[in-house]
């Protein structure tokens, strides 16, 4: 069974004109913390929903997804720092796995 992971990034003050511009803003917000690319996934699509919202969908095999997840630690100092960086930049970030909400910077 494959895993579909969907990230949604929203920034009310943004005026993004492309998904690439939105991604650049997200990457800049994280600075040295780094944005985890989806190199392990079998496919990534980014879509600009509107000038303030961008989605990134990653399609994973079960094995690749397990490896990716093992690299992430909920509640870690790094994860907390990334949440703080998103909030400081005015970006809300949610994650869904197979249409189930698994992460929200607002909670």
Closest CA to 99 of 57, 43, 47: 57
What is the CATH code for 3-104? 3.30.70
Summarised one tens digit per residue, pLDDT across range 24-79 is 999 899 887 776 665 556 678 999 999 999 999 988 888 888 888 787 777 788 88
Burial of 34 (0-12, 13-18, 19+ CB in 10 A): exposed
> Looking at residues 12-35, what average pLDDT do you find?
90
Domain ranges for the chain, please list them: 3-104
CA-to-CA distance for 76 and 82, rounded, in angstroms? 10
What is the model's pLDDT at position 49? 97
Q: How many CB atoms lie within 10 A of CB 61?
A: 14
Please state the pTM of the whole predicted model.
0.84
């Amino acid at each position: 069974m494959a895993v579909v992971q969907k990230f949604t990034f929203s920034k009310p003050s943004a005026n993004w004109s492309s998904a690439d511009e939105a991604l650049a803003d997200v990457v800049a917000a994280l600075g040295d913390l780094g944005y985890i690319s989806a190199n392990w996934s079998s496919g990534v699509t980014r879509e600009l929903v509107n000038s303030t919202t961008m989605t990134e969908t990653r399609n994973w095999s079960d094995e690749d997804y397990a490896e990716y997840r093992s690299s992430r630690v909920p509640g870690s100092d790094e994860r907390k720092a990334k949440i703080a960086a998103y909030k400081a930049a005015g970006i809300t970030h949610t994650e869904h796995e197979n249409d189930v909400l698994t992460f929200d910077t607002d909670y």
